[in-house]
A and B are shown apart, each in its own frame.
Chain A
Amino acid sequence: MMFFPRKKRKGEILHPAPRLPGFAGPHPFPLFLLFLVLFSPSAFADGGTVLAQQTVGPYRITLFGDPTPLRAGPADLSVLVQDAKTLAPVLNQRVEITVSAPAVTDPKAEAWVPPCCSMKKSVTTAEATHAAAQNKLLSAANLVLPASGPHELTVALRPANAPAAEPTLLTARVEIAPPTPPASAYWPYLALPPFLIGGFVLHQRLRRRDDHRA
């Protein structure tokens, strides 16, 4: 592996590099390409911030919420269940998350829900599963928080092999922020046409200038 530019050996003919339009000297073009890879749009991943953490019976239960702060609309809620004594993750529990929201009095507080998710609008209880979580130690579920204001989130744990058993409950009161307007939730996609049009206008100007010079 060479960190130095290779020196031409005596008598050796080095093939010239292929000529490319406008290349002269270092150019960080590939960097931009890799930047694009990283600027992927935000995805719903489990995790986020800790909303509540409590030891209930034999378990230590941690409830996470994303986005931060939690806003009215689609939210990703996930739960980590640990053994209270050893803190070892417990994976054999059936986890159910329930949101109880106040009645919506202010229409501005009502959530804007992406149209395709409006079928979930009435769903305020969901089973959190390991399959839905990126971090497989967690159980995750996507819920729709119907409005801003104080909400009560309840996590119910039951052994996976005894679904009718008395649940272990964790209850947390959280303040839900007003919903994100659709334009700000999807701004990178809306910004794409003006960005590319700007690039095209610049491209045409540069091309005209090149033609004049030629």
Chain B
Amino acid sequence: MNADAASAAFLSWRFEPFVLVGLALSAILYVRGWLRLQRTAPHRFPAWRLQCFLAGLATLFLALASPLDAFASFLLSVHMVQHLLLTMVAPPLLLLGAPYLPILLGLPRRFASEALGPFLKWPALKALGGFLTHPVVAWSLFCLSNVAWHFPAFYELALRSPFWHRVEHACFLGTALLFWWNVVLPFPARARFPRWTVIPYLLLADFQNTALAAFFSFYDRVIYPTYATAPRVSGLSALADQSAAGAIMWVPGSIAFLFPCGLIAVEFLSRKKSAPAPPPRRPTPPPATVPASPAPRFSLNRALPTLRLTLQLLLLALATLVIWDGLTGPQVSAMNAAGVLPWTHWRALSVLALLFVGNLFCFGCPFMLVRDTARRVLTLLRLPHARLGWPLALRNKWLPVALIVTYLWAYESFSLWDRPAATALIILAYFLGAVLVDVTFKGASFCKYVCPIGQFHFVQSLASPAEIRIREPDVCRTCRTFDCIKGNATHRGCELQLFQPKKSGNMDCTFCLDCVTACPQDNVALQPAIPGHDLWNPAPHSSVGRWESRPDLAALVLVLTFGAFANAAGMIAPVQALAPALGLSHLAFTTLFLALTLLLLPLLTTFGAAALTRPHERHPAPLPRTLSAYAIALAPLGFGMWLAHFVFHLGTASHTPIPVFQRLLGLTPDWTIASWASPALVALEILLLDAGFLATLYALWRIAKNRAHHPGRAALPWLLLATALYAFGIWIIFQPMQMRGTLTP
């Protein structure tokens, strides 16, 4: 192999996300738990255990991602090295790290005790664990796996199929972990037999290994047809390669068995003659230290307002660009910033932000920046503004529900995604609307009672992993100024009337940070939260009330949930083929389709489900209250569908802004650009929908548990409704879809 080819071979790494995430997660959990154990049992978990575990993970990475994997189907000898790393090197290293306690302690405490606790206490699982780690069973499984997978039929199957190749690797690693378990005895495991039995245990395994290795080394024909036909990329013939594989299995394999065997024998023998143990060392007191002056601490609270202003300015600049290009640029969506940025990238990035952080769109809302500027200008000019209260009849979510339905209808009927000028005008109208409403009415009336984008983000952020809430309840109990809601001389309080001590979840919270900056005790902060925990919280929420007493909120959730499916269905081939089949115009069909899916279907199904649920309630309430209490749980399912839909567009039109910016900068645009479209995108879409579906099922079960004698029976109609929607979502994902925002039809 020449130098170029050799360097190309060494660059043949594969960074498969699932392997990387799995290994990184294992490392993080172990290190987290190990650090905790360092405080409670440092002598049991010295640094070498950490080093061994991390070395074991690194070995796994080397075996699965390095050029060893890339050349495994070309050279049996390379494949053998990969298998040796998986069976002889990684498992003992991982077990020397005694991973049980560190990983368990590395998990979130509540997850470990409540989610895993019942399984860990399950006698059947304990018995299975005991059975599998029994020396006879572990030895037999290890040898059986080693021999069976080397039969030509099985080996060829693994070479042909990625799935069976993974099964093969899992068998090797799994049985090797069981095998080495009895050799290493990772704390807190105990030996089943006298320790000297480990020596024959290892020697017998070595006999099996030697016999197999000898067969590979001395057999005079190529055993595996794949290697007979594989192109020779090294100087070795197929037979020589097979012999080399046998030698690798024989020599390093035997060393892997015999080295610990010798070590145990020496340790065993030297133990009997060992000198008396040295007296215990008294713990030395920690050296006296001069108290240092407190170091300046980074406060996220202090940094967030600056971050918010930066994001607002960035989004305002982009909105300006979109308006200008939408009105003056080419009226082809894929060639115009107004056709690419808001409909593809902004929508997807804002829902991904909801998934990973929270309501970052409202956090960086450019409309509020313009509104605040307008209010400041009017204050400077001493003109009256923001004096009226929002009309009482509209202090609910019915107006945004109507706006969202109208938007979804207009989007599909007039193909808004393909009309850059209309998009620009909508954004312009949005700025004007926000300014007009909020210079007329007090507080953030536009955000709370009008803005459809805000309502979308409020509902989806119920499943976000962060929220603004108080740090210490005791601090709020002694508070008499209530700056978080009333404001003070320098900072305004919450304009959406959310009182922090009584606030729960993210509904109506714009992440504007007014409460954070107003609190004189620095007791309000952006903090992690269990996603969706507020969905089953029956307590009244500040400025929102109880879910069951808010049919308008239930309507909002239902429109956004059913809208997620209707909006995605609008771009698939079978639905688009319906209009000509029924002899309807596009407008008539869209109107009929959305009336059915956004209004009639939600009404019928949810009232039906509520009627079936009601008899099982502890305190049967009027039907709308029951409906409102359960409907909120459908929000994560809708969120999952929005995520799947928007991620699809982001994946297929990922690179579309590049030629648009090339055009705007006066460069020659290259419209034939790449994208992230791949079969893996479908898998990601399904995973996102899976997550939303499961979160909805869990929320429904928790709500039913709070409200009903028999949670299973009470929740069943809703579970069936959620399952039907999920199945519909999967069907949509598998259909041919329009590549909106791209130059592909």
Contact = CB atoms under 8 A, between A and B. Distances in A.
Contacts of A183: 734
A183 to B, nearest CB: 8
Nearest to A188: B683
A3 B189 CA distance: 12
Interface in A31-68: 31, 33-45, 47-50, 53, 60, 62, 66-68
B130 interface: yes
Contacts of B572: 115
Q: Which 7 A-B pairs rank lowest in CB-CB distance, beginning with the nearest? A: A22-B121, A37-B22, A40-B18, A9-B277, A206-B118, A136-B8, A135-B70
B280 A22 contact: no
Given A26-B130, A49-B226, A4 B267 contact: yes
Given A115-B734, A118-B736, A136 B9 contact: yes
A203 B263 CA distance: 43
Given A40-B22, A74-B679, A31 B178 contact: yes
A33 B103 contact: yes
Contacts of B313: none
Interface string A169-185: 00000000000001101
B41 A17 contact: yes
A190 B154 CA distance: 27
Contacts of B307: none
Contacts of A112: 734
A189 B690 contact: yes
Given A15-B40, A189-B683, A196-B694, A21 B121 contact: yes
Given A41-B680, A89-B1, A135-B67, 5 more contacts: A17-B44, A30-B94, A87-B233, A88-B5, A186-B683
Contacts of A28: 129, 132-133, 177-178, 181
Nearest to B18: A40
B7 to A, nearest CB: 8
A10 B279 CA distance: 7
Given A49-B160, A136-B9, A115 B648 contact: yes
B566 interface: no
24 contacts: A3-B264, A5-B191, A10-B276, A13-B280, A18-B40, A20-B105, A21-B112, A22-B121, A25-B126, A30-B94, A30-B100, A33-B103, A34-B22, A34-B174, A42-B163, A80-B231, A89-B8, A91-B5, A114-B679, A116-B678, A134-B70, A137-B8, A193-B693, A206-B119
Contact of A41 (B4, B18, B189, B734): B18
Contacts, number: 291
Interface string A66-106: 11100000100000101000011101000000000000000
Nearest to B742: A119
Contact of A3 (B116, B117, B184, B690): B184
A29 B280 CA distance: 35
Contacts of A203: 115, 118-119
Contact of A89 (B5, B18, B183, B184): B5
Contacts of A3: 183-185, 198, 260, 263-264, 267
A120 B232 CA distance: 33
Contact of B166 (A1, A40, A50, A137): A40
B96 A1 contact: yes
Nearest to A133: B12
A120 B43 CA distance: 60
B212 to A, nearest CB: 22
Given A3-B264, A14-B43, A26 B94 contact: no
Interface in A155-205: 182-183, 185-186, 189-190, 192-193, 196-197, 200, 202-203
B161 A37 contact: no
A182 B132 CA distance: 36
Contacts of B226: 49-50
Given A53-B231, A136-B9, A189-B686, A119 B730 contact: no
Contacts of B44: 14-15, 17
A107 interface: no
A34 B26 contact: yes
B478 interface: no
For chain A, which range describes its interface: under 10, 10 to 19, 20 to 34, or 35 or more residues?
A: 35 or more
B298 interface: no
B280 A23 contact: no
A78 to B, nearest CB: 11
Nearest to A69: B160
Contacts of B190: 5, 25-26
B679 A117 contact: yes
A108 interface: no
Contact of A12 (B126, B277, B739): B277
Contact of A27 (B26, B37, B129): B129
Contact of A39 (B36, B170, B280): B170
A25 B693 CA distance: 37
B16 to A, nearest CB: 6
A27 B120 contact: yes
B121 A116 contact: no
A192 B19 CA distance: 18
Given A15-B43, A31-B177, A134 B14 contact: yes
B306 interface: no
A197 B694 CA distance: 8
B214 interface: no
A117 B736 CA distance: 9
Contact of A68 (B18, B161, B189): B161
B651 interface: yes
Nearest to B676: A116
A151 interface: no
Contacts of B159: 49
B677 interface: yes
Given A3-B185, A45-B162, A119-B652, A192 B115 contact: no
B737 interface: yes
A42 B648 contact: no
Nearest to B184: A3
A189 B687 contact: yes
A186 B682 CA distance: 8
A4 B679 contact: no
Given A33-B26, A136-B8, A182-B734, A42 B126 contact: no
Contacts of A87: 231-233
B104 interface: yes
B280 A9 contact: yes
Given A17-B41, A17-B44, A38 B166 contact: yes
Interface string A106-143: 00000011111111100000000010011111000010
A188 B683 CA distance: 9
B305 to A, nearest CB: 39
Contacts of B193: none
A36 B166 CA distance: 11
B2 interface: yes
Contacts of B60: 34, 37
A135 B71 contact: yes
B677 A119 contact: yes
A26 B133 contact: yes
Given A25-B189, A49-B226, A115-B734, A192 B177 contact: no
A115 B279 contact: no
A203 B737 CA distance: 39
A24 to B, nearest CB: 7
Interface in B220-245: 226, 229-233
Nearest to B56: A34
B10 to A, nearest CB: 8
Contact of B229 (A21, A50, A185, A202): A50
B162 A18 contact: no
A35 B181 CA distance: 15
A93 B450 CA distance: 61
A94 to B, nearest CB: 16
A10 B184 CA distance: 24
Contact of B101 (A20, A60, A133, A207): A20
B505 interface: no
A136 B11 contact: yes
Interface in B90-132: 94, 96, 99-101, 103-105, 112-113, 115-122, 125-126, 129-130, 132
